Amino acid sequence: MVNFPKLGIGTYRVWNRDFFYFKKYMLASVFWSFTEPLLYIVAFGYGLGFFVGAIDGVPYMLFLAPAILCTAAMQGAVFESTYSSFTKLRVQKTYETIMMTPVTVEDVVAGEILWGASKAFFGVLGVMAVFVAMRMVHGFQAWLTLPVLFVVCWCLSAMSMVVTSFARDYDSFTYFFSLIITPMGLLAGTYFPLEHFPKWAQTAAWFLPLTHGVAVVRSLFLGRWHNSLWINFALLFVMAILFSNWAINQTRRRLIY
């Protein structure tokens, strides 16, 4: 049975603590979070798009835009829930300090996951604002990508928190980024249609949360929704719940036992 993580008032307090510190460098952080995706859309959209032309009747720039939104969500969530969370867990001992108040391990981890997702989502909103300014957002369905993108942020934040709960030092994240994050960013149907990859790559991509996020976001962004995408969204949502529970349980073992 897939149980939704238990959220309490302590979850909000942990989230609010992180947001309080974030406000001090909000502008710089949000600016950087969408600057890199903007460079990707310019370099690949205009540069590579000149040679690619259209994919399934869609200009390459519009084909790429939803993937840029998803990769922005992934990168923001992953960086916040690995290096930043590990610092609070092992170096600063922030979690142990918080737990001296009426806040449980579940509240701490759920609050950290929620914060990682929220911070990544702020960056996503910045990227979406750029796309609006470039007149790339058309139709009501394109705006329905935002709740889906938040689930992408949540899932990747929770997955990264699992890795953080096992990490022994900062170097441990090198394997995570090299073996999981980088391949996921390339094999999830981001830059080219997934069906053009070898069968083994398509099968492997099915187990990657970003694949399902890109499929749903791209279909909504382009106004090409079909009911089979509910399967992709359901898998993404279930992955987010499973990773969240795994992170909570593993962090409890690390902090208490």
Report yes or no: 74 and 184 within 8 Å, Cβ to Cβ: yes
Report yes or no: 119 and 200 within 8 Å, Cβ to Cβ: no
The whole-angstrom separation of Cα 189 and Cα 192 is 5
Among 35-49, 160-174, 182-196, the least confident range: 35-49
Report yes or no: 70 and 209 within 8 Å, Cβ to Cβ: no
Q: Is the pLDDT of residue 45 over 80?
A: no
Q: Is the pLDDT of residue 196 over 90?
A: no
Query: At 257, is the pLDDT very low, low, confident or very high (cuts 50, 70, 90)?
Result: low
Give the pTM. 0.91
The residue written with tokens 């922030």 in the block is 94
Compute the half-sphere exposure of residue 24: CA atoms within 13 Å on the CB side of its CA: 4
The whole-angstrom separation of Cα 176 and Cα 209 is 15
Among 20-29, 103-112, 149-158, 232-241, the least confident range: 20-29
User: At residue 237, what are phi and psi to the nearest 5 degrees?
Assistant: -65, -45
Query: At 56, is the pLDDT very low, low, confident or very high (cuts 50, 70, 90)?
Result: confident
Question: Any idea what the Cα angle at residue 23 is, between residues 22 and 28, rounded to 5°?
Answer: 80
Q: Report, as an integer, the average pLDDT of 110-123.
A: 93
Query: At 139, is the pLDDT very low, low, confident or very high (cuts 50, 70, 90)?
Result: confident
Q: Which ranges of the chain would DSSP assign to H, the alpha helix?
A: 9-22, 26-42, 49-52, 60-79, 85-86, 94-98, 105-133, 140-143, 145-166, 172-176, 182-187, 199-205, 209-221, 229-256
Query: At 33, is the pLDDT very low, low, confident or very high (cuts 50, 70, 90)?
Result: low
Q: Is the pLDDT of residue 244 over 90?
A: yes
